[in-house]
Amino acid sequence: MTTWEGLLFGIGFVTQPEVLIYCFLGVVLGTFVGVLPGIGAMAAISLLLPITYYITPEAALIMLAGVYYGAQYGGAVASILLRLPGTPQSAVTTLDGYPMAQNGRAGVALFTAMASSFVGSMIGILVLVLLANWLSRAATAFGAADYAAMMILGLVAASTIGTARPAKGFAMVTLGLLLGCIGTDVNSGAQRFTFGQTELLDGINLVALAMGLFGVAEVIANVRNPDRQSVAARIGLRRLMPSRDDLRRMISPMLRGSALGSFFGALPGTGSTLSSFLSYSMERRIARRPERFGKGAVEGVAGPESANNSAAITAFAPTLTLGIPGDPIMALLLGALVIHGIQPGPMMLEARPEMFWGLVASFGIGNLLLLVLNLPLIGIWVAMLRIPFNYLYPAILVFLCLGVYSVRGLSFDIMAVAGIGLAGYLLAIAKFSPALLLLGFVLGPLIETNLRRAFLISRGDPMIFLERPIAAGFVIATVALLLLPVWKAWRRRAHS
């Protein structure tokens, strides 16, 4: 079966009324759980898993996948309007989406997020259709050393480029790396920095950390500053639409983010969270005025949103064709397939073409449904900003606690998010960037895992990072970024 024959076959399958209904239910539920801070697709898919026993495997996978990429859309809403990341992937959207909302451009920020999500998803679908087999083979070319060098480059770039005080950036990244070390060592089983607390054996909850840094800290800041900016009583369609300058600025980040997400989504073990952070780091690195980021740059919304949505689509390539999940949600979907007696792998395209091509076709239809559903709702979401904050923040804290508690069912996480929120507020007062802390926390365990694998493969020889061309390129770029501030300081002294 050729690619186009398979795609036509998938469209015919997914347009059956029963399958179409499950696709619609999936994307609507995904948007809803994405908007609710902290709940996310993982909890929703876990709750829906028992229902899949009573429907066909194809319809079940299409519905669960709809929840997954639907949550990517909804996650941006709370991030932009309330600075509460609806999903871990949308945490980076708060950095510029929320300042846009504070500047009276909430409608533009939401439109940018929705349009970028749609463009990223469509490009991800195109890549998945045309390059599924090639992506699976290319993904296997990345070794542990390449992964580690790539992520270290991302951390160094994020903390040095576009920051007025690189020392503070390095401090936040280092703190994030240290927090990522908390928990049980996966190789030796040793407990690290748990201080006898059994709740820390699995480490700090990512949702609790993101909610504390961006949610509770923002609530404290707004309580201390009651003169919160509100939006106009009525917002017309013209104010929801981006200006020509906004459109010009967002097109290139959309395309770059989609390309980045499509590639990294297909790499086993990365997931869409990494893609969104790397996209933001890249956009700030190549911007002519990187100081605009963090103050409402439209590129800081367009790039990460397109990256995480394209990655969410192409993440199905290694999951279905190699049986290697890209993130915990993909692992859950992989478990759903195994429950139904389906073994993902290289033969899946031939053994179950209706499932593979039906799923691909459902991505296109589901994203069209999401666009149709979400764009008319932008005005309603923006209207949330008219609610006085002294009425809004108790509800925010309730949803925040529910979202954090739903992940692991531990009251410890609620206390942790309160402490993290206070620390996040103090860090913000001291002009430290909580985003870099979160970036170090997300990438730290991945870097450690891949560094260990690389040294096991090379028997402790660090030359593996120079012998592999991909890793060597990343190492050279990292060293150049570290030497750049030194070179700039030397030039300033030479000219003074």
| pLDDT tens column, 357-398 | 888 888 889 888 888 887 777 667 666 656 666 776 787 788
Q: What's the rounded Cα separation, in Å, for the pair 143 and 247?
A: 38
* pLDDT given at position 231: 44
Task: Tally the C-alpha atoms within 13 A of residue 138's C-alpha that lie toward its C-beta.
Answer: 14
Using CA atoms, how far residue 243 sits from 102, 238, 246, in Å, is 18, 9, 5
Task: Tally the C-alpha atoms within 13 A of residue 387's C-alpha that lie toward its C-beta.
Answer: 15
Mean pLDDT score, 85-100 = 80
**Residue predicted with more confidence, 321 or 250:** 250
Q: What is the mean pLDDT of the chain?
A: 79
The pLDDT-based confidence of 255 (bands split at 50, 70, 90) is very high
Q: In three state form, how does the secondary structure of the chain look?
A: CCHHHHHHHHHHHHCCHHHHHHHHHHHHHHHHHHHCCCCHHHHHHHHHHHHHHHCCHHHHHHHHHHHHHHHHHHHHHHHHHHCCCCCHHHHHHHHHHHHHHHCCCHHHHHHHHHHHHHHHHHHHHHHHHHHHHHHHHHHCCCCHHHHHHHHHHHHHHHHHCCCCCHHHHHHHHHHHHHHHCCEECCCCCCEECCCCCHHHCCCCCHHHHHHHHHHHHHHHHHHHCCCCCCCCCCCCHHHHCCCHHHHHHHHHHHHHHHHHHHHHHCCCCCHHHHHHHHHHHHHHHHCCCHHHCCCCCCHHHHHHHHHHHHHHHHCHHHHHHCCCCCCHHHHHHHHHHHHCCCCCCCCHHHHCHHHHHHHHHHHHHHHHHHHHHHHHHHHHHHHHHHCCHHHHHHHHHHHHHHHHHHHHCCHHHHHHHHHHHHHHHHHHHCCCCHHHHHHHHHHHHHHHHHHHHHHHHHCCCCCHHHHCHHHHHHHHHHHHHHHHHHHHHHHHHHHC
* pLDDT given at position 381: 65
- pTM equals 0.65
Q: What's the rounded Cα separation, in Å, for the pair 18 and 400?
A: 35
Domain, as residue range, for 27: 3-495
* pLDDT given at position 233: 44
Interval 105-125: pLDDT, tens: 888 888 888 889 899 989 988
* pLDDT given at position 232: 43
* pLDDT given at position 184: 85
Interval 155-191: pLDDT, tens: 787 677 555 677 788 888 889 889 888 988 877 888 8
Interval 308-356: pLDDT, tens: 888 888 888 777 776 666 666 776 777 777 767 776 665 666 677 777 7
The pLDDT-based confidence of 21 (bands split at 50, 70, 90) is very high
Interval 445-489: pLDDT, tens: 878 888 888 998 898 888 998 988 888 988 998 888 888 777 877
Most confident of 79-83, 303-307, 407-411: 303-307
CA-only gyration radius of the chain, Å: 22
Lowest mean pLDDT segment, chosen from 71-80, 130-139, 224-233, 466-475: 224-233
The pLDDT-based confidence of 250 (bands split at 50, 70, 90) is confident
* pLDDT given at position 138: 59
Percent of the chain with pLDDT over 90: 2
Q: What's the rounded Cα separation, in Å, for the pair 435 and 94?
A: 9
Closest CA to 112 of 364, 298, 374: 298
Closest CA to 40 of 71, 76, 81, 79: 71
Number of structural domains the chain divides into: 1
